[in-house]
Structure 1
Amino acid sequence: MNILHVSPYYPSLETNHAGGVCMGKEIESLEKKNKVYVLTFVASDYDKKLAVSEEKAHRRYVVIHKWNRIAHVLLEPFLPAYFAARTSFRYAAMLIYYLKKYDIEAVHMEYSSMGQYIWLIKKIFPNVIIHLVEHDVTIQSYERKKESSKGITRWYYGRECKKIRKQEGYYCRKADQILTFNQKDCRLLKEIYKVQNVQVINPYYGIDDIYYEIPDNKRKAEYANICFLGQMGREENHLAAQRLIRIGYKVKKIIPELNIYIIGNQPSEELKKEQNEFIHITGFVEDVDEYLQKAQIAVFPLTLGAGIKVKVLRSMALGIPVITGSVGAEGIDESGEVIQLTESDEDYISNISELVRNEERCLELSYLSQEYVRRNFSWRKSEEVLQRLYERK
């Protein structure tokens, strides 16, 4: 089958954001039995360099800068700003060109923001199948932002929520099939938008069913490293990192040897100023696993965002026990079978201190976390769904 993969970010197993890696794995799986063409946006210098280095005959991209996005937001006042930032006449023209030139039979569309192109495809190519991958339920993410805001910011997010609910619902109803990365998002889409054509696949977290050996000396009580992983340019990660630092100062009084590693690209200047002898802001690193595997536990005090958190899965797959709240655990382990569910700052302080000191429990959770992810989030299951979805009838 001839498939066109469209996305708002560059899809590659080598990129530095979880969504891009997951999309790269989807393409790899689809290419096993189909001819796959890629049309994407590139929004960062890192992804542009990567796109150039990986340039292939059937991959094309449109570069968008900050000012492009601002201009499109202003020109599309009826679209949510998050969606309007990916509005592009050039992209639309290339989309039509690809569909005609390569006799595209199906479009594999990533993120709800790309749903804005569904009407164009359906109008000109009514027989083309469209599968929309909802990486998260956008309305849930914005409602959380609204609830955590005040004043004019709360008013703004309330206004955006109304537009998102309208547009995201329209895109979901127009798609032939919707894919989500967890059962909770599947239920949300059915409840909010009254759609039934939803299937669940597992997200790819960067590890192919490999058990990483956990060194015995890593879980010793004197080993007091904790870490946070995330794309620091995202608001939810920035706020969570700041919260972890505040918590860390209090834990430091209990555990003097404590070290905190904030791992991820694009940290703000505000965050960089927090660096000292025990708080380490790494910025971009070539190998995040190198830092994760030095940590005794991973802590994600998230309050914003939606959908499944790939950073939580990756930490668990590497045998790093995870402490997080309901936002970080949603779609993964909401009952707290292996994740140490925590909400308040006081409980974070208590649970971090106890787990760091409890060598036996820490080691037990390392093995349980690995097994849990291996059992419930294998990419093989996702590949089977994708293969069935694109079987020629």
Structure 2
Amino acid sequence: MLFKEISDFFQFIYDGFIMRVLIVTHAASFRADRIVSGNAVRAHYFGKGLLQNGIDVTFAYPKDLASDEELNESDAASSDLRFFESRSELHELIGEVKPQAILVGYWEFLEHFPDDYEIPLIADIIAPRILEALFQDHQDVNLHASKMLALYRKASRFICGTQRQRQFLMPWLILAGFDCRFGAPIDIIPISTEPLLPRRRANPTDPWVIVTGGVSWPWRMSQRYTDAIRATLAEASAMNGRLFMLSGGYVHESAADSESAVSANEDRQYDATLQHVGLLPYGDMERLFSEQCDIGIELSDYNIERDFSASFRSIEFLRCGLPVICNHTLELARQVDDYDAGWVIEGPHELPALLETISNNPLDYDRKSANAIRLVEERYHYLKTIVPLVEYLRDPKVPEKTDDWFFRGSEKLALDLYHQVSELDHQLRIRDKQIADLRRDGESLKAQLEDVLGSASWRLIQPVRNVARKLVTFKGLLLRAVASVYRRGWKRPGPREEFALESGRYALRAADSSRDRWFDRKGRYVAIVSREDVFPTNHGAAVKIERTAWGLSHFVDGVFLITADWGRYYEFRNGSATEKYFPLPIRLSGVSGMVFRKWLLRTGIPINEAYIYQALFDWGYFVRLMYIALRYRIVLYQAEFPAYAQACVWAKHLLRGKTLLVEHNVECDRIQTQYPEVSAQTYEWLRDQEVTLCNQVDKVIAVSQPDRDLLIGYGVAPDKVHVIPHGVDLGAFEKSYAFSLRDTYGVPADTRIILYHGIYSYAPNLESVRLLATEILPRLRLRGWKAKVFAIGPAAPLEAIDPDVVFTGSVDELAPYLKSGDLAVVPLQQGGGTRMKILEYFAASIPVVTTSKGVEGIPAENGSQILIEDTFDGMANAIIRLFEHPEEGTAMARRAKDIVERSDWKSIADQYLSLLE
């Protein structure tokens, strides 16, 4: 007991005098015997530099990237290597380590920390991520920008790799609320390493070995340079040598292997000069560079990302004594030129002459090789680059931040623009010239509405932040404005016309039929309010929303689809969609979303889900909906997802009609399942909002019986909730297509095609494809079956999951892809609602193997229309059974087709309208 007390006392003294830093990054830990990412290398040298400056370092890595050996080693309390699986585990680890500062090696990991965290957070921004996202079709750049601003605000200090990166980072920090007038909280710490010994070519007459490649990202467009090198080497007159091409996807988040995508004819032409090398373990790569290679290549067609890049592979070339050939636009080019550590060129046309010059001057090469080592020693050695971080850690502080300048500026803009929005009556145009009385009444309404809004404008917007907190006040003012207009009337009201206030709602009572001309005007229209990502329709929710609008347009005079898009809406008439544009003042209402987005994030909603709930705080949706509702007789206000019901309910209070909320899932439960870190308080708030909105509308659509039961269990009135499943675009599946997956992707005849489709930013979909790669395909291979999985849809992961898993990306037409597969496998483990994808497989007449969760809500019997297995062995057996007996699969698919024959989108739309009659 005494010994423990003494030990604790000395530990307390030690903790008081020793600086301790926790390094958290997205990577596996650095080990020379395995392939490592740039993040792992950077964290490794950060740690070495800090340790040699007397600072204790503990590394924290995601547990899912760790080996069993590492996890066992980390069990020791004294280990400097820790692993975490969730936010709570990370914070438990922080409590044990008690660091004075935390270095966050990947900016998105800042989301694990609350705002105003008491421990200084140092964010390493080594790559211009927002510029990289511009080159990735499945990335939402606007979402990245919003996310960056929100997360940057949490940090106390920033690290970047180059001077250009510092200049690029500074405006983002200003927008995030950092006062950079007298100095930005940014330190430049280049990619760091330690040089090897200088090298010489063993025999000047030996063939030259040039090395290039690495992780193949879409912004590294090096094909023209690679072709020029290969053509020069093939001729052998300028240089006798060969090219090593390292290629592969990022070890954790991979891209398509664009750099190695060379046609078979080209390979035959240059086969003597090219040697493909996969990504190597770090130690093997080091030996390859230092023992076998002579020149490193860092060449690419110019693009904006290249201006701000910092290349790990170039530093590895230089540390191994390989002079580098690089583009003059790179920031590294200045140092290569100053140190005479390589060659700087403008374009691929210079390569043949340059390679000939190198080949003819071996002594010049030896000098450049020695200078490459010197450049690394003087500019990139980890003991020199770490100095700014050590200086900061002597007195790490959390800086004071202003109010978020970006949102504060937008808030002022919103105040200015609101006055313009209040004059929208001057710019509203009634395009239906055939209805003269409607136009006359509308113009009269607009003129009087201007008077009311003009006199009440300051009360409506002082201050704007209170609008977000007290939207009911805003609604009440609008109701009073319209009430005032009606009291004045388009004509003088009759003696029996009056307004009454009933339980907080304004109800219009009138016996004079002339008063009803606005509400009872001709035509029946539907307004749908929904999320922003409906177009392109490359995921299940978008398909359902667009097809529902299409189906409804066959039963009413028109359907208007209103989204988060400030500028446009979509009009559906008789199955044809037309893009329409809001007048300028209406577009300006979208600024409110920028103002109130930060209020939404403070509720604790995961940032990836925030856009679905923004309508709760964004009155712009209501303004855009009212623009439509004042021009057309809306008989149904339909909300897709709960938050959008709020604008629909307000519109109904003002202008008659019915309200319908379509629940794609029970959203509060879906978010809780998908994001386990969501707090109990946030979950309760989400559930309360969802239940409240469900009870405010006239009817609620659930897509499955389990979802209906959940909603009723949470407090939604049972008579409101009705089950109407997803629909299917049967017409698309009845067509004949020339397209074939097998022919397009060159799939051999002895290889079966397994299908899965969805949007892969949705975690359950990505998990399903990973299970196909890690659990299903290995079992099929062990049984001697060859299969290739085609994962169709947007937001594909960056990492290569398996050689036999092909992510196609978004496709223009889904039906031809599904019809050319052998079967579909849906190993879903989580999620809510009805699996629209399974109904589409039924429509495509391909057999389906799934889990109980996957078929939830679909009236299909196991063994008759579908095969249901909840174990991976069972699923593999079911798949092989269909492979061996294709006639059984054909019969099963035929029976399954009968289920969806009754689920075309017109039929679904008709069911929606029948609820409201």
Return the TM-score normalized by structure 1: 0.80
Give the 3 Å change call, closer, same or farther, for CA 125–342 of structure 1 in structure 2. same
| Structure number with higher relative contact order (C-alpha < 8 Å, ≥ 6 residues apart) | 1
**2:762 is matched with which residue: 215, 229, 234?**
234
Structure 1 match to 2:453: none
Please say which of residues 319-328 and 182-191 is displaced more in the overlay.
182-191
Q: 1:281 to 1:100 in 2, by over 3 A?
A: same
Q: Does 1:349 align with 2:872?
A: no
- Quick check: 87-96 or 244-253, which moved more? 87-96
- Aligned 1:138-287 pairs, distance under 5 A: 138-145=667-674, 149=676, 153=677, 156=678, 158-195=680-717, 196-208=719-731, 222=750, 224-247=752-775, 248-270=777-799, 273-276=800-803, 278-287=804-813
The answer on whether the counterparts of 1:42 and 1:63 sit within 8 Å (CA) in structure 2 is no
Q: Which amino acid aligns with 1:274?
A: I
Q: Distance in 1 between matches of 2:635 and 2:735?
A: 40
2:893 to 358, 366, 369: 366
Gaps of 5+ in 2: 1-523, 571-576, 737-741, 743-748
Q: 1:171 corresponds to which letter in structure 2?
A: L
Corresponding residue of 1:316: 842
CA displacement at 1:204 relative to structure 2: 2.2
Contact 1:133-1:180 within 8 A present in 2 as well: yes
1:48-85 CA-to-partner distances (Å, cap 9, x unmatched) read: xxxxx9413689997999xx789715445348453434
Counterpart amino acid of residue 7 in structure 1:
S
Structure 1 residue 113 corresponds to structure 2 residue 643: yes
The farther-off stretch of 127-136 and 179-188 is 179-188
Decide whether aligned partners of structure 1 residues 139 and 29 sit closer, same or farther in structure 2, where only a CA change above 3 A counts: same
Superposed CA offset, 1:266-322 (max 9, x none): 10102xx1252x322212222333332222110111112210111111011111111
Query: Is contact 1:38–1:58 with CA below 8 Å preserved after alignment?
Result: no
SS of equivalent residue, structure 2 residue 901 = helix
Q: 1:134 aligns with which of 651, 659, 663?
A: 663
Aligned residues: 363
SS in 2 for 1:327: coil
8 Å contact kept, 1:325–1:343 = yes
User: Is 88-97 or 224-233 further displaced after alignment?
Assistant: 88-97
Higher mean displacement: 352-361 or 165-174:
352-361
Separation of aligned partners in 1, 2:633 and 2:894: 48
Q: Distance in 2 between matches of 1:164 and 1:133?
A: 16
Query: Which has the higher Rg, Structure 1 or Structure 2?
Result: 2
Contact 2:658 2:916 in 1 (8 A): no
Give the Å deviation of 1:258: 1.5
Measured at CA, do residues 159 and 322 of structure 1 come closer, stay the same or move farther in structure 2, by a change above 3 Å?
Answer: farther
1:330, CA displacement in angstroms?
0.9
Give the Cα–Cα distance (whole angstroms) in 2 for the partners of residues 31 and 260 of structure 1: 37
**Residues 139 and 63 (structure 1), Cα distance of their counterparts in 2 relative to 1, 3 Å cut:** farther
| Shift in alpha-carbon separation, 1:113–1:358, aligned structure 2, 3 A | farther
Contact 1:5 1:109 in 2 (8 A): yes
Match of 2:547 in 1: 25
Evaluate the alpha carbon distance shift between residue 228 and residue 341 of structure 1 in structure 2; reply closer, same or farther with a 3 A threshold: same
Aligned to 1:96: 626
Distance in 1 (alpha carbons) for counterparts of 2:860 and 2:594: 36
Q: Among residues 838, 858, 864, which one is paired with 1:332 in the alignment?
A: 858
Letter in 1 for 2:530: S
Q: Matched residues in 2 for 1:38 and 1:366: separation?
A: 35
In 1: Cα distance, 2:705 partner to 2:548 partner:
19
Mapped to 2, the partners of 1:374 and 1:283 lie a distance apart of 28
| Preserved contact between residue 729 and residue 905 of structure 2 (Cα < 8 Å) | no
How far residue 231 of structure 1 moved from its aligned partner, in angstroms, is 0.9
Deviation at 1:38, TM superposition (A): 2.5
User: How has the CA–CA distance of structure 1 residues 263 and 59 changed in structure 2, closer, same or farther, with 3 Å as cutoff?
Assistant: farther
Q: Distance in 1 between matches of 2:796 and 2:533?
A: 20
SS in 2 for 1:328: coil
2:790/2:808 contact within 8 Å kept: yes
Task: Return 79-88 or 304-313, whichever deviates more.
Answer: 79-88
CA gap of 1:35–1:370, structure 2 versus 1, over 3 A, is closer
Q: TM-score, normalised by structure 2?
A: 0.36
- C-alpha displacement of 1:160: 3.4
* CA distance 1:30–1:373, change in 2 (3 Å): closer
In structure 2, give the amino acid aligned to 1:240. S
Secondary structure, aligned partner of 1:95 = helix
Q: Identify if the C-alpha distance between structure 1 residues 340 and 131 changes in structure 2 by more than 3 Å, giving closer, same or farther.
A: same
- Segments of 5+ residues of structure 1 without an aligned counterpart are 48-52
**Alpha-carbon distance in structure 2 between the residues aligned to 1:62 and 1:201:** 34
Contact 2:528 2:560 (C-alpha < 8 Å) held by counterparts: yes
SS in 1 for 2:828: coil
Q: Secondary structure at the match of 2:630?
A: helix
Residue 18 of structure 1 aligns with an amino acid whose one-letter code is G
- Distance between the aligned counterparts of 2:598 and 2:525, measured in 1? 33
Change (3 A) 1:170 1:35: same
Aligned equivalents of 2:639, 2:802: Cα separation in 1: 40
The amino acid across from 1:170 in the alignment is T
Asked if 1 retains the 8 angstrom alpha-carbon contact of 2:865 and 2:893, the reply is no
Superposed displacement of residue 142, structure 1: 3.0
Measured in 2, the distance between the counterparts of 1:250 and 1:232 equals 24
Distance change (3 Å), C-alpha of 1:301 and 1:78: same
Within 2, Cα distance between the matches of 1:212 and 1:36?
A: 26
Match of 1:72 among 597, 607, 620: 597
Could you tell me how far 1:240 is from its partner in structure 2? Answer: 1.1
